[in-house]
């Protein structure tokens, strides 16, 4: 079961799992994007992870699954003093609430030996993200949610890990460049260069590279890892 499956990292995860012969249920609010997936043997489900009724449908479909990947996410950009209560509620509903309640509903129904990966972010570990302060708070919450469910599901055994990507080349990252450049009064190109220089490996990741790391966290290769916040940042974050 993969949420946020119509674009970016979620899409790359679905296509990678499908290539590995896994039958995937690809969930997203964006029907168009789901139609374009290149994932044989996968099923698609249009659902809003922020809606409790939709989450119940997702959970029902996930009965007996091996893996859950919570990749659905939204971001909003404003000077920190201009964020509203509605911004908080919207962002937390998609990023944090859905992660908590999908882990709660689906975790116990996964097959023993199964695994969950939650998409956090390097913004959960950095202070330089004030244009996305609520997003960063929601991604930090995901680390706590991950640890709680890792503990709660360990005896089954189901492993639960979070991945903290830095800069992954996706439609969301495209918006980050445009909107943060606008807020900082600089150009997209200049911001892109500064950001790439801050990454020791000197470049963004592709969505496919990130999907490879998520695949590792789902697989037996990471059988002794649970409750972790795994950096995937080209060295931007090292703790
Ligand atoms: N791209 C990056 O650099 C980066 C870095 C750190 C973390 N992340 C996280 O990785 C995840 C995937 O990001 P991405 O870059 O692929 O973004 P993206 O915008 O390309 O894809 C996100 C997907 O989530 C879906 N989605 C949004 N709200 C939804 C809802 N209410 N119900 C169902 N689906 C919904 C969107 O339709 C979209 O298909 C997100 O959680 C994001 O916060 C991304």
Distance 31 CA to ligand 1 centre (A): 14
Distance 3 CA to ligand 1 centre (A): 9
- Nearest CA owner, ligand 1 atom 17: 172
Assess contact for 145 and 103: CB atoms under 8 A. Answer: yes
Q: What is the pLDDT of residues 61-102, one digit of tens each?
A: 999 999 999 999 999 999 999 999 999 999 999 999 999 999
The answer on pLDDT for 130 being more than 90 is no
**What average pLDDT is seen over the chain?**
97
Angle between helices 133-153 and 98-106 (to 10 degrees): 20
67 is catalytic: no
* The pLDDT of residue 57: 98
* pTM beyond 0.85: yes
Could you tell me the pLDDT band of residue 129, with boundaries at 50, 70 and 90? Answer: confident
Instruction: Report d(CA 88, CA 185) in Å as an integer.
Output: 25
The answer on pLDDT for 228 being more than 90 is yes
The answer on pLDDT for 128 being more than 80 is no
Region 213-218: what's the mean pLDDT?
Answer: 98
Q: What is the pLDDT of residues 133-142, one digit of tens each?
A: 999 999 999 9
Distance 4 CA to ligand 1 centre (A): 6
* The pLDDT of residue 150: 99
Ligand 1, residue 123: give the atom nearest the CA. Answer: 6
Q: Catalogue all structural domains in the chain, each as residue range(s) with its CATH number.
A: 2-167+207-232 (3.40.50.720)
């Amino acid at each position: 079961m993969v949420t946020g499956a119509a674009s970016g990292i979620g899409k790359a995860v679905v296509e990678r799992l499908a290539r590995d012969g896994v039958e995937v249920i690809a969930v997203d609010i964006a029907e168009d994007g789901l139609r374009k997936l290149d994932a044989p043997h996968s099923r698609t489900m249009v659902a809003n992870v922020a809606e409790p009724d939709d989450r119940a449908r997702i959970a029902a479909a996930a009965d007996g699954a091996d893996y859950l990947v919570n990749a659905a996410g939204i971001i909003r950009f404003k000077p920190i003093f201009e964020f509203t209560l509605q911004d908080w509620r919207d962002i937390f509903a998609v990023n944090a609430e859905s992660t908590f309640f999908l882990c709660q509903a689906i975790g116990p129904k996964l097959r023993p030996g199964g695994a969950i990966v939650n998409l956090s972010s390097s913004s959960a570990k950095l202070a330089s993200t004030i244009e996305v302060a609520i997003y960063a708070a929601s991604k930090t919450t995901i680390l706590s949610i991950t640890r709680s469910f890792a503990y709660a599901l360990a005896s089954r055994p189901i492993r639960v890990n979070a991945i903290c990507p830095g800069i992954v080349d996706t439609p969301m990252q495209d918006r980050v460049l445009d909107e943060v450049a606008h807020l900082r009064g600089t150009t997209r190109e200049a911001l892109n260069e500064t950001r790439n220089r801050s990454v020791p490996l000197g470049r963004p990741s592709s969505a496919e590279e990130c999907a490879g790391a998520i695949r590792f966290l789902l697989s037996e290769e990471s059988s002794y890892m649970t409750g972790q916040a795994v950096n995937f940042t080209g060295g931007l974050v090292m703790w």
